[in-house]
Amino acid sequence: MSAFSSAAEALPEPACPAIASRPVRVALAGYGVVGQALAARIDHAQGFVLAPILVRDAAKPRAVTPPGELISDRRALLANKPDILVDALSCAETGALLSEWALAQGIHVVSASKRVIAGAYPALARCAEASGARLLYSAAVGGETPVLETIAAAAAEQEIVSVTGVLNGTVNFILDRLSRGLSFAAALKQAQEAGFAEEDPAEDVSGADASAKLRIVAAAAFGGSPTDYDFEADALDAAAISRIEGSGQRFVQLARVERRDGVVTGSVRLVPREEAGALPVGDGEWNAARIETADGFSRVVTGRGAGGAPTAGALLSDLVRLTREVGLGD
């Protein structure tokens, strides 16, 4: 027997307590790419019960067996007053409505929807403030890349000067494949098959998705609500695709927001990779962000920005954080 194994045997059993002593009840809105990935993953986490689950069509076959009842009546989702609502819907109108209902009743909300957060933040924040419920949305920007968390950590120490990032994993995937000679249609098909592209890719290719994320980033870095900001975005339209294909270069969709003399400006631009400077632009669906602070330092984060598993990971982090910080399940 080695010295290592006898030392290990002398150690006490590691204590891995459950996150909560009673199950934390999570109502899940949406059982598509993200919702099913969360169900598959939450199985391994302690203390959460997912039920009920809202979908459009409860009779549709699902790749991952639902861990709870599938329902299509949105009013029934919150009827039993769950502890937390997770918004993993593709319909922003329904997501905003449900999130508002939940927060108004004191039910915490964890959202994956950048459209809901970028578009309905003031109403949601008012409901949360009135009831004391929490609204977390780290999955709405960056997937598994901790963009908002890193901005919050930087802002706690220093004034933020700028945030530069690749914030849309689907577009980064498509631009990467274009640079390898694939057609736009073939690249989009691959992105859809991998679960990166939304049901309607218009939000991604118009730049609206990255612009919405940049508005959330701006509010996190410089204060206010995402609805206070408005940024122009280059579309990945036919003219842009032909320019990119003709260039023979790897392009990136670069989102940047900065504050100078108290004025915040930002944009989402399609540029050759060289213009991203020191930003570590990954292949495929990867995201990255560089947060510059007034002391001259930068924090850089990178990770997978699209897909069910990374987004579910970010949702799960918010669920665990909420459970611990609010004391749910005690």
DSSP annotation of 60: S
Residue whose C-alpha is closest to residue 27's, from 126, 103, 92, 93: 103
* Beta bridge mates, 271: 252
Q: What is the 3-state secondary structure (H, E, C) of 73-109?
A: CHHHCCCCCCCEEEECCCCHHHHHHHHHHHHHCCCEE
Q: Does 90 bind ligand NAP (CB under 6 A)?
A: yes
Q: Is the sign of the CA dihedral 39, 139, 104, 133 positive or negative?
A: positive
Q: Which is nearer to ligand NAP, 161 or 167 (CB)?
A: 167
Q: Does 89 bind ligand NAP (CB under 6 A)?
A: yes
The one among 24, 27, 28, 32 contacting ligand NAP by CB under 6 A: 32
**Least distance to ligand NAP, CB of residue 227, Å:** 17
**Least distance to ligand NAP, CB of residue 89, Å:** 4
Q: Does 274 bind ligand NAP (CB under 6 A)?
A: no
110: Cβ–Cβ under 8 A, 6 or more apart, which residues? 84, 85, 86, 87, 136, 137, 139, 315, 318, 319, 322
The one among 48, 196, 222, 229 contacting ligand NAP by CB under 6 A: 196
The one among 52, 143, 226, 266 contacting ligand NAP by CB under 6 A: 143
Which residues in 242-271 contact ligand NAP (CB under 6 A)? none
**Least distance to ligand NAP, CB of residue 52, Å:** 12
Rg (CA), the chain: 21
Q: Does 31 bind ligand NAP (CB under 6 A)?
A: yes
Q: Which is nearer to ligand NAP, 225 or 311 (CB)?
A: 311
Q: Are strands 286-293 and 298-304 parallel, antiparallel or unpaired?
A: antiparallel
Residue whose C-alpha is closest to residue 284's, from 254, 315, 250: 250
Q: Does 35 bind ligand NAP (CB under 6 A)?
A: yes
Centroid of chain to Cα 28: 16
Q: Which is nearer to ligand NAP, 70 or 155 (CB)?
A: 70
Residue whose C-alpha is closest to residue 142's, from 27, 36, 288, 265: 288
What spatial distance separates the first Cα and last Cα of the chain, rounded to whole Å? Answer: 43
The one among 55, 96, 205, 241 contacting ligand NAP by CB under 6 A: 55
Q: Does 60 bind ligand NAP (CB under 6 A)?
A: yes
The one among 119, 195, 201, 313 contacting ligand NAP by CB under 6 A: 195
Beta-carbon count within 10 A of 228 CB: 14
Count of residues interacting with ligand NAP (CB under 6 A): 28
Find the part of the chain contacting ligand NAP (CB under 6 A) among 193-201, 222-230, 249-257, 258-266. Answer: 193-201
**Least distance to ligand NAP, CB of residue 202, Å:** 13
Q: Does 161 bind ligand NAP (CB under 6 A)?
A: no
Query: Are 257 and 217 spatial neighbours (Cβ–Cβ below 8 Å)?
Result: yes
Residues within the interface to ligand NAP (CB under 6 A): 30-35, 54-57, 60, 88-91, 94, 112-114, 139, 143, 195-196, 198-199, 306-307, 311
